[in-house]
Chain A
Amino acid sequence: MKVVYVVLVIYGCTLTLGVVPGGRNKNRGKGSMWWGIAKAGEPNNISPISPVIHQYNLPDHATLRKKQHRLARENPGLLVAINKGANQAIHECQYQFRNQRWNCSTKNFLRGKNLFGKIVDRGCRETAFIYAITSAAVTHAIARACSEGTIDTCNCETHYKPRTTHHYSDNAVAATGVRDFKWGGCSDNIGFGFAVSREFVDTGERGKTLREKMNLHNNEAGRWHVQQQMRQECKCHGMSGSCAIRTCWMRLPPFRVIGDILKDRFDGASHVTSANSHNRNNKLHNRGLTNNPKFNGISRNSIYSKRENRRKHKYSFQLKPFNPEHKPPGVQDLVYYEMSPPFCERKPQFGIQGTHGRVCNAHSIGVDGCAIMCCGRGYRTHEKIVAERCNCTFHWCCEVKCEICRTRKIINTCV
């Protein structure tokens, strides 16, 4: 009996190592390739390219799909905005997770899908956040680019008329509400950002497998939060609260606000399960890191959605909560279906960097504290001389002159 068990474990390990690279694409959905745009313009170890992104001459290493190419061609300036958005997403993600074991590290890989490492292969919280923040950042960047005038096609565009495919029961009104507005001609920037982000970001996700549904849901959640934050606001002015003049403006919060909101949603993300494989998933979660993504009932789920009309019902699914007593996730929630790996040890085959050498805070009992960050391995303390700006004087107007001081700082790093 023991022998059989050992054999099974060995078999399981080899299967994991062997199969994961092959099964990856299938599992994560095909919508993540465009992330490579973020690194467009940076010298790449294989094909150094010029730092300027031309209108739609996209470097090959951010493999875009046909539809994405078409969108880029039809909307000059779009790719620049998406590039900006993708970088903003990376920065924001790294800022939000600067104190956590997983610090949203990115790699300048050849292909976009590997931008955030192999963590994306798992349907865990971190992946949910990555999808949401990238889609949110793209929406944000496009809307911004529209109001700055760097994308000409936003204004008065007819083929991005709001589509009512947004079938989330409780938020359908909210999602379409913004796009119903018209003011100052037809500069409906947020609506455009939303629509294009859907077309561009969601293009590879068909919404058939659980993973694809998760991606679609998280993408949609990211966009939804942007739309909630970036909205047109109007106000009346007149004698004692009457409405003689109506003024309208755009509320455009810094992306940090959206990052904060998504981080909150990350902390309270909903654990979902595929509709008819509840028991199977249950078992899988107990297996931790070594479970094989191929087994988790995704293919089964796709059978049931095949009959659906792809265009019409892409967003009209309802994910089931893992715990049947919980509320089903709403449009604002991030969803995941796999548990996060511990992120403590370095595991390159899963794209985990580990926390070795990470800076930690010895006096904190939170996630950035050495106790948690270093996973109980302990930390090293060393002194470092840091150059800082100091004795700054303010010269009217408007210049700040500083000296450079060298101070000693104690830095703790995980073993």
Chain B
Amino acid sequence: MQYNIIMHLIQMYFSFYEDYGDYEVYQGNDEIYFFDVWRYCGLLSVQSILPLVIKLLVSNAIFGIILPNCKSESCFHLVSGGVGVYLISEVKSFEGKYIIVIYFLISYFVLLSSQYVGDGNRKRLGIFAKLALIGSLIFSEYLLIDPAIFLQIRGILMVLIMKVLSLVDETVERKTSIGILQYFGYSLCCANILFGPWITFREYLGIHSTRRRKDIFWILGICKSLILALLCLTVSNCWSTYLIPDESNRWLLAYRDALAFRYSHYFVSYMAESGMIAAGFKNPTLKDGSIWSYTIVSPMEVEFPTSLSVVVTKWNGPMHLFLKNSIYQPTKRYGQFAAIMATFLISSFLHGLEVKVSVVLLSLGLFSYLQAKARTILSSGFSACVKIKSCKQCNHKYKRDHWAVKISLILFSFTSIIHLAYLGILMDPQSNDISIYEKWNNLYFIGHVIMFFNLILII
């Protein structure tokens, strides 16, 4: 089947040649264009990030190699934090570095003070500390520094604050105190200071206690995620525009812009993964086999989502874990909807309360909640297995292999893709000057229309 299509295309190609024999040279442009895109876009993109990538990987690999030779724990913390400081010095703006240092110090005083508060007030202080940290993040974004500079350090600050927030839980609720060296090593850990991901304190201590041997598979693991990262980078920068040119219709263009944003995220996540592997981190769920990997994002599940909530959970695994543990679980007693919205609200606070990010996150929360709810209702109404998670021991009449169930699953999958494109266009950095309303209006508010249908289903 596919072979036939290829043959057909080839024949079309040649018949095209025949029609305008005189212009043969210029009809061959497509191929030239492909190499042009590779040379001027792909190579240049890779070139422009290579210095930072090499710095990140080499310094992390050095950390990973030094690590087994560090007998004492303080040596481990010092090296981890020290290399982290070196990486932070890569931040271009002076103000940016300044802000990071200030955050580092303030957070430590918050942690320290929580140890001297009586037992009864600890919980209250913990919440207060969290709110203060998040508030100060927004304060510094809007009042203290230039938004452009803040944008550069936002990722770093986010990871730092998430680490501190989880440390607050650790010290306040579990009554364990934390030393300055431990704090220094954990919060500025070189493996995840630049691109994340957030890790738990326990996980951080884990690489010191396990001391995994670095072998050829370690190098292979680094290379694999590095290559994937660079691939995703070129998709985001070049191939998306090459495959879907500017003249395409609005839906394809929206899909393309969202795709470019998603691949940019995969790039960052794979970069983070290679950094984590270089430093000696491994998937917590992975048994100590020979494979080195640290899953942050699952592109296949995001590109072809079965539902929006899958996207949310697979988008950034560690961050999802963090939000789930520290926000979703504690707020669950106020109801599922409230918990979900609170989670996405806090998440948008962590992202610095930037308008478009907040809109995207809150809509994502709303859309995914409504989708999940609609599917649950459909599932019980028609006794069909269309819930988000495939039920193993359900007594639904129609199982997953029934054709109607399959069709509705594909339909939900398709609406998820539309939702992704609908929300993703807001994140496209190249069209920041176009307002959210205008962008959505251009797509006839399709996301909200779908949401409306889901809402009708629920009611």
Residues of A at the B interface (CB closer than 8 Å) are 91-92, 94-95, 98, 147, 183-184, 233, 235-256, 386, 388-390, 392-394, 400, 402
Contacts and interface: CB of A to CB of B under 8 A. Distances in A.
Nearest to A259: B26
17 contacts: A91-B23, A92-B26, A236-B429, A238-B151, A239-B154, A239-B158, A243-B148, A243-B154, A244-B195, A245-B49, A249-B41, A253-B33, A254-B29, A254-B36, A388-B15, A388-B18, A392-B14
Contact of A244 (B25, B148, B268, B354): B268
B168 to A, nearest CB: 21
Contacts of B195: 238-239, 244
B181 interface: no
A250 B237 CA distance: 10
Contacts of A388: 14-15, 18
Given A249-B238, A388-B15, A388-B18, A184 B47 contact: yes
Contacts of B152: 238, 242-244
Interface stretch (B5-13, B338-346, B378-386, B395-403): B5-13
A94 B27 CA distance: 13
A147 B151 contact: no
Contacts of B159: 239
B285 interface: no
Contacts of B33: 253-254
A207 B334 CA distance: 76
A250 B26 contact: no
B116 interface: no
B7 A247 contact: no
Nearest to A245: B49
B263 to A, nearest CB: 10
A183 B267 CA distance: 22
B49 A252 contact: no
B23 A94 contact: yes
Interface string B178-222: 000000000000000011100000000000000000000000000
A247 B43 CA distance: 11
A243 B351 CA distance: 12
Interface residues of B, number: 59
Nearest to B6: A394
Contacts of A393: 7
Given A246-B48, A389-B14, A251 B154 contact: no
B32 interface: yes
Interface string B39-65: 111101101110010000000000000
A250 B40 contact: yes
A243 B40 contact: no
Interface in B141-179: 148, 151-156, 158-159
B48 A241 contact: no
Nearest to A183: B48
B25 A91 contact: yes
A392 B7 contact: yes
A94 B52 CA distance: 47
Interface of B: 3, 6-7, 10-11, 14-15, 17-18, 20, 22-23, 25-26, 29-30, 32-33, 36-37, 39-42, 44-45, 47-49, 52, 148, 151-156, 158-159, 194-196, 233, 236-238, 261, 264-265, 267-268, 316, 351, 354, 356-357, 427, 429-430
Given A239-B155, A239-B196, A242-B151, A252 B237 contact: no
Contacts of B233: 237, 247
Tell me what chain B mostly uses at the interface: helix, strand, loop, or mixed: helix
B36 A184 contact: no
Contact of A249 (B26, B48, B52): B48
B228 to A, nearest CB: 14
Contacts of B238: 249
A339 to B, nearest CB: 29
A125 to B, nearest CB: 22
A214 B298 CA distance: 58
Contact of A241 (B37, B194, B237, B427): B427
B357 A250 contact: no
Among B10, B18, B40, the most chain A Cβ lie within 10 Å of the Cβ of B40
Contact of B155 (A184, A244, A256, A389): A244
Nearest to A244: B155
Interface centre among A183, A237, A386, by most chain B C-beta atoms within 10 angstroms, is A237
A392 B16 CA distance: 14
Contacts of B18: 386, 388-389
Nearest to A189: B40
Contact of A243 (B3, B52, B151): B151
Contact of B45 (A242, A249, A256): A249
Given A244-B194, A245-B268, A386-B18, 19 more contacts: A95-B26, A183-B48, A237-B267, A238-B268, A239-B159, A241-B356, A241-B357, A241-B427, A241-B429, A242-B152, A244-B195, A244-B268, A249-B44, A252-B41, A254-B33, A255-B26, A255-B29, A392-B11, A394-B3
B98 to A, nearest CB: 17
Contacts of B264: 235, 237
B154 A242 contact: yes
B26 A91 contact: yes
A238 B265 CA distance: 7
Contacts of B36: 252, 254
Contacts of B155: 238-240, 242, 244
A184 B40 contact: no
B154 A250 contact: no
Contact of A247 (B6, B40, B48): B48
B3, B6, B20, B264 pick with most chain A CB within 10 angstroms: B264
Contacts of B52: 245
Given A237-B236, A243-B152, A388-B15, A394 B429 contact: no
A388 to B, nearest CB: 5
B268 A254 contact: no
Contacts of A240: 155, 158, 265, 351, 357
